[in-house]
Amino acid sequence: MSDPLQGVAVFVEAVEAGGFSAAAAKLNLSRSAVGKTVARLEERLGVRLFHRTTRSQGLTQDGQVFYERCLRALGELRAGEALLESGKQEVAGRLRVSMPVLYGRRCVAPILRDLARAHPKLELDLSFNDRLVDLLEDGFDLVIRNAGIRGLDTGDGLTARRVGFQRMSVCASPAYLRKHGTPRTLEALSGHESIRYVRSGTARTWLFPQEDGSNVELVPNARLRFDDLEAIMDAAVAGMGLAWLPCWLIQEPVRDKKLVRVLTDQPGLCFDVYALWPTSPHLPVRVRAAIDALAKKLPSIK
């Protein structure tokens, strides 16, 4: 299939420059090359575009009609290029992001909302889902994912950047601690009731990092087992036992003295949070802006 634009730019330049020689100088071509390009264009179109004499070249009637249409086409192309170029510099367009339900709602979405407020041409399409979505197949620009204790498996075709962390803390209500006492050591946890997080039938082990890089794993007694962190927090506030929860989730009830952090001299385990996106040499500005905003603001949510 022939290229419908082949030779068009040279033809337009020849018209606007007033001749083949002037066009050749502007295009850094020989006069012969310009003439041959126009001749091939005329042959392809089946019409004569220029009246040629030894002294000048003037447009034929067909040439004038074709020139006017070429100007419109080239104008549209330049407008398209300008639009794409501005899109490379401006935070604009549709941004599709997938994130865990609770963490996304509490931590990620507010940051992206602020980004959209600052950039009126940015459109947000946020999906809250705890399943591991297929970023490429599901058509997301960005996925926010918590790395487990074994780290993050990015898979093929994806790039990852650490944008934050979730520090875990043991907490309980003041009423529970008054009744059952405050645990001072990890060993003391075995004498307390807890509310455990369960996912896919498996209860999450409580992990506590040690100086040698290892983790102490504990499985406290639990009459209550939920698959929702917010429900675990509510049960802890109600005095039903100790809970092992991310600090960002309990910061308000701790501030309001509905919960108390215990074992504060014991370092809390941190789960890294990553942004993942399709590997590309040209990352859209809207995606880069979202990643940078999350990397800047998520670490402050502790």
- pLDDT score at 282: 77
Q: Which residue has the higher pLDDT, 20 or 124?
A: 124
Where does the chain hold its CATH 1.10.10.10 domain(s)? 8-85
pLDDT in tens, 54-102: 666 788 888 888 888 888 888 777 767 666 655 567 888 899 999 999 9
- Say if residue 299's pLDDT is above 80: no
Distance CA 156, CA 52 (A): 60
The confidence band for 240, taking pLDDT boundaries of 50, 70 and 90, is very high
Q: Which amino acid is at 257?
A: K
Give the least confident one: 112-116, 119-123, 196-200, 241-245.
196-200
pLDDT in tens, 189-210: 888 999 999 887 777 888 888 8
Distance CA 12, CA 8 (A): 6
Which pTM was predicted?
0.67
CA dihedral sign, ordered 27, 31, 36, 42? positive
Q: Which CATH class is domain 8-85?
A: mainly alpha
% of the chain residues with pLDDT over 70: 90
Where does the chain hold its CATH 3.40.190.290 domain(s)? 92-301
Around 71, how many Cα atoms within 13 Å sit in the side-chain half-sphere? 8
Q: Which residue has the higher pLDDT, 100 or 148?
A: 100
- Say if residue 109's pLDDT is above 90: yes
Three-class SS state of 2: coil
% of the chain residues with pLDDT over 90: 39
- Say if residue 153's pLDDT is above 80: no
Distance CA 22, CA 116 (A): 50
Which whole number is the average pLDDT over 220-224?
A: 87
- Say if residue 272's pLDDT is above 70: yes
Which whole number is the average pLDDT over 215-220?
A: 84
- pLDDT score at 135: 76
Q: Which residue has the higher pLDDT, 152 or 18?
A: 18
- Say if residue 1's pLDDT is above 70: no
Which whole number is the average pLDDT over 270-296?
A: 89
Three-class SS state of 219: coil
In which element (H, E) is residue 187 found?
none
Question: Does domain 92-301 correspond to CATH entry 3.40.190.290?
Answer: yes
- Say if residue 150's pLDDT is above 60: no
Distance CA 244, CA 268 (A): 10
The confidence band for 175, taking pLDDT boundaries of 50, 70 and 90, is very high
Distance CA 206, CA 164 (A): 21
Alpha helices in 18-103 (DSSP H): 20-27, 31-45, 61-89, 101-103
Pairing of strands 50-52, 57-59: antiparallel
Residues ≥6 apart with Cβ < 8 Å to 225: 195, 196, 197, 198, 203
The confidence band for 152, taking pLDDT boundaries of 50, 70 and 90, is low
